[in-house]
Amino acid sequence: MKTATTAFLCGALMFSGLSYAASSQHVEVSFDKLSFFIKGDDKTSANGLFDNGGTSVPEALVYEGTTYVPVRKAAELLDQPVYWDNTTRAVSIGNPYIVLYDAKGSRIGHAVLTPGQEGVTITLEVSNLTPGQHGFHIHEKSFEGFDFKTAGGHFNPENKKHGHSNSEGHHLGDLQNLEIGADGKGRLEYLIKGASLDKTSKHSIVGRSLIIHAKADDGKTDPAGDSGDRIAGGVIPQ
């Protein structure tokens, strides 16, 4: 067992996605190396340390009888990707989960991304939107606050024209229109062909934004299909 100040414990707990109420009290915490066995395989490290985004940290700590493991370390052990959304302070393990908001910051729905051989499938559910068709796109970067204009233009890594009906198109970020019913709800499942969740890929969509527009996308007019204002969106975690 090693003695550490509360400030040091706070730092250790932060990398595991936890928080700790600060006080002037000293605590007892163990950073002793643990063994990990996953489905019959020995996954124990040599030194008990974990590379957390370029920073070497303990791969586990024990505090008052409870063992804490960094989220990224746990996901690595389980062979699952992990994604972080700084906007919502949320962790996704396995598949990115995107929380969707309107311009006032109210939560209106969510989307889930599933990778496959041909690309990435998006499954989306929303509510509290105006009935009718709405343009729906992937934009090139994450937005700030709930100012969807800061998401930049459509994600277009091949520098094509806009629209599925455009002979020179389309952007990779051009998705199909989102149909909203009379009850203000809508659901969509769509394969984004050629898209990737691999952060090193030119076609990676992680860290970008899903944006819903006020009007339907006409499928041909540059740069956004005459689809009007950006009324809702969500950041794709990375």
Q: Can you tell me the distance from the alpha carbon of 18 to that of 14, in angstroms, rounded to the nearest whole number?
A: 5
Residue found by looking up tokens 């959304």 in the block? 85
Q: Can you tell me the distance from the alpha carbon of 213 to that of 227, in angstroms, rounded to the nearest whole number?
A: 6
Residues marked active site are found at: 137, 139, 154, 162, 171, 174, 213, 230
Residue found by looking up tokens 């070497």 in the block? 56
Joined tokens for residue 204: 């990676």
Q: Can you tell me the distance from the alpha carbon of 84 to that of 220, in angstroms, rounded to the nearest whole number?
A: 34
Taking the CB of residue 224, how many other CB atoms lie within 10 A of it? 23
Q: Can you tell me the distance from the alpha carbon of 227 to that of 234, in angstroms, rounded to the nearest whole number?
A: 18
Joined tokens for residue 184: 């203000």
Helices and strands counted in the chain (H then E): 2, 19
Residue found by looking up tokens 């806009």 in the block? 162
Q: Strand pairing of 97-102 and 230-235?
A: antiparallel
The amino acid occupying position 78 is L
Taking the CB of residue 187, how many other CB atoms lie within 10 A of it? 14
